[in-house]
Structure 1
Amino acid sequence: MNKKTTDRIVRLSILNILFIILCFITLIPIIYAFLLSISSGSSAFGSGFLFPENPTLKNYKAILVEEPFLIWFKNSVVLSLGTMILAMSTSVTASYAFSRFRFRGRNGMLKLLLLLNAFPQILSMFAIFRLFKNMNLLNNYIGLILIYAGSMCIFSIWNMKGYFDTIPIEIEESARIDGAGSGQIIWRIILPLARPAIIVTAVMVLIFVWNEYLFATTFLMNEENYNLAGGLYQLQANDYSRNWSLFSAAAILVSVPILILFFSIQKYMVSGLVTGGVKG
């Protein structure tokens, strides 16, 4: 083995070791939360919380049985799926139109969408609250879904437009020569080819809604309407505010569905996000 090959192996080994150390560092908060969730104490800094002497699942049982966790879970599912369906049904068609058609004001509209996305959402919260109060949309899933869908449409349009740009237009032209109509081209050719971007974008929308806290706690005021983020806030704000083991158990349960979903679409992540971002 020559010196060049040896140096390459050494560099790759050092790089891999650094990556392993970095991954371990990022896992420390998750490991800490899990160990805290199975401890019998309630303090975040009590003795034995790093390696519990008597591990127990009572905190998980308390969350599922004594607290309305399943109701919060159902509310989050409704909000996430509703937002994903509404946002994707509008952004897929809009991103395809921005990618394929050249019309007056196209570039200006894209820049305007990007500019709107640069402003913090909290700036519009008071105006939306007054509007929804007059429209009786407070404590209503429809109002929150409209907010979420409007917020995520901009990201969805830009990400999927970049992916549509990578699909050669010659494919559509060949299909038209063979007699395919516009609807057949979109449903049978374009959407299957854009599946990675559509799946990844839809999951990103779902994750955003699943973890969103500010608007959820502002526009959903009743405990039975809380999503998981609002439920976690409620756990921390009421009698359990000092029971960090119970809070950690709830946080772990909230994260599990997202982890399962993320790993199930992991093969689409690179092509769906990188291609859309680079070509956007």
Structure 2
Amino acid sequence: MRNSKRVRSIAGLMVLNVVFVVICIVTLVPILYAVTHSVSGTGGALSSGISLLPEYPTLENYRAILVEEPFLLWLKNSVVLSVGTMVVAMGTAVTAAYAFSRYRFRGRKSVLHMLLILNAFPQILSMFAIFRLFRTFHLLNSYIGLIVVYAGSMCIFSIWNMKGYFDTIPVEIEEAAQIDGAGGRQILTRIVLPLARPAIIVTAVMVLIYVWNEYLFATTFIMNESSYTLAGGLYQFQSNDYSRSWPLFSAASILVSIPILIVFFCIQKYMVSGLTAGGVKG
């Protein structure tokens, strides 16, 4: 009886692993095709047969993107927006999440629920209102305006995720530090924040990824080519002069993805604890 259960368990795990492998392969095929097309010669992606091996591999598309086009300028713009949004959003969300986790004040649950409701509305519903505000305060083609919008959008996710992680940190640790004479700022900076480092790192990277890949606001409120982000630059590749040069577009897409992949692999060890612990308690 015990052996049959063990056999069924092993068989179930094998089937599950096979399913996961198939899902990974299906997911990787478009990426491999994009990589293959980025090192192919000029031509249309739809005019030739599907192949994961280029017939005549070349790095000319990457050279053209980096040398002939303002890709590095768009990269700089995306870095400025991403880092600026991350600093503003995390600076606000960390203190707010700690306050929601540790203090019991009137309207606390109502505010948290209201934040969730606000987060449920699609961003496109606020486009016209934000555009009017930006035009009134002269924030069109401005990084400051986009940073405010991005930080406001990601603060809700950041607050909820880090609040859940702060809830898992025992209050007794802070009480012991208070007995030893530590003040509120010392408790937060020397005890709570180091313990919450996985959640803070993961949340900051999620904010970074959101801004890095954001397309709607970046192409609506930035109308100057010198201020384009990577998303706006890729849109120009696809819609204007390079609408038929899919190898060039594929090379640009691969280059855009590389920095995020590097960041992801650097913080991979924090991903599981930072996201799952943050979602345990609400």
- What is the letter of the counterpart of residue 182 of structure 1? G
The 5-angstrom pairing of residues 122-133 of structure 1 reads 122-133=124-135
Q: Where does residue 179 of structure 1 map in the other structure?
A: 181
Does 2:33 correspond to 1:3? Answer: no
Q: Where does residue 15 of structure 2 map in the other structure?
A: 14
Does 2:156 correspond to 1:154? Answer: yes
2:219 to 217, 237, 240: 217
Of 156-165 and 17-26, deviating more is: 17-26
Structure 1: runs of 5 or more not aligned: none
Of 46-55 and 232-241, deviating more is: 46-55
On the 8 A contact 1:36/1:49 being kept in 2, the answer is: no
Distance in 2 (CA, whole Å) between partners of 1:57 and 1:207 is 27
On the 8 A contact 1:63/1:249 being kept in 2, the answer is: yes
The 5-angstrom pairing of residues 134-173 of structure 1 reads 134-173=136-175
Q: Where does residue 118 of structure 1 map in the other structure?
A: 120
CA-atom RMSD in angstroms: 1.2
2:268 to 254, 266, 269: 266
- What is the letter of the counterpart of residue 28 of structure 2? L
On the 8 A contact 1:72/1:227 being kept in 2, the answer is: yes
Distance in 2 (CA, whole Å) between partners of 1:208 and 1:79 is 11
CA shift, 1:231, in A, is: 0.3
Q: Where does residue 109 of structure 2 map in the other structure?
A: 107
CA shift, 1:9, in A, is: 2.2
CA deviations on 1:132-162 (whole Å, 9 max, x unpaired) are 1111111010010000001000110011000
On the 8 A contact 1:39/1:49 being kept in 2, the answer is: no
TM-score, with structure 1 as normaliser = 0.97
Q: Where does residue 46 of structure 2 map in the other structure?
A: 45
On the 8 A contact 1:44/1:245 being kept in 2, the answer is: yes
Does 2:41 correspond to 1:27? Answer: no
Of 210-219 and 50-59, deviating more is: 50-59
Of 118-127 and 5-14, deviating more is: 5-14
The 5-angstrom pairing of residues 197-212 of structure 1 reads 197-212=199-214
Of 49-58 and 96-105, deviating more is: 49-58
- What is the letter of the counterpart of residue 194 of structure 2? P
The 5-angstrom pairing of residues 73-92 of structure 1 reads 73-92=75-94
Q: Where does residue 64 of structure 1 map in the other structure?
A: 66
CA shift, 1:30, in A, is: 0.5
SS in 1 for 2:248: helix
Of 158-167 and 1-10, deviating more is: 1-10
Distance in 2 (CA, whole Å) between partners of 1:213 and 1:245 is 21
CA shift, 1:8, in A, is: 2.4
On the 8 A contact 1:139/1:225 being kept in 2, the answer is: yes
Distance in 1 (CA, whole Å) between partners of 2:76 and 2:193 is 30
CA shift, 1:115, in A, is: 0.6
CA deviations on 1:211-240 (whole Å, 9 max, x unpaired) are 000000011001100000000001111111
Distance in 1 (CA, whole Å) between partners of 2:8 and 2:212 is 46
Q: Where does residue 233 of structure 2 map in the other structure?
A: 231
Distance in 2 (CA, whole Å) between partners of 1:214 and 1:47 is 32
- What is the letter of the counterpart of residue 38 of structure 2? S
CA deviations on 1:22-78 (whole Å, 9 max, x unpaired) are 111111111111111111132112336622211111111110011100000000000
CA shift, 1:263, in A, is: 1.1
2:191 to 174, 189, 192: 189
CA shift, 1:4, in A, is: 3.2
Distance in 2 (CA, whole Å) between partners of 1:36 and 1:234 is 19
Distance in 1 (CA, whole Å) between partners of 2:19 and 2:136 is 56
CA deviations on 1:64-118 (whole Å, 9 max, x unpaired) are 0111000000000000000000000000000000000000111111111111101
The 5-angstrom pairing of residues 92-103 of structure 1 reads 92-103=94-105
Q: Where does residue 257 of structure 1 map in the other structure?
A: 259
Structure 2: runs of 5 or more not aligned: none
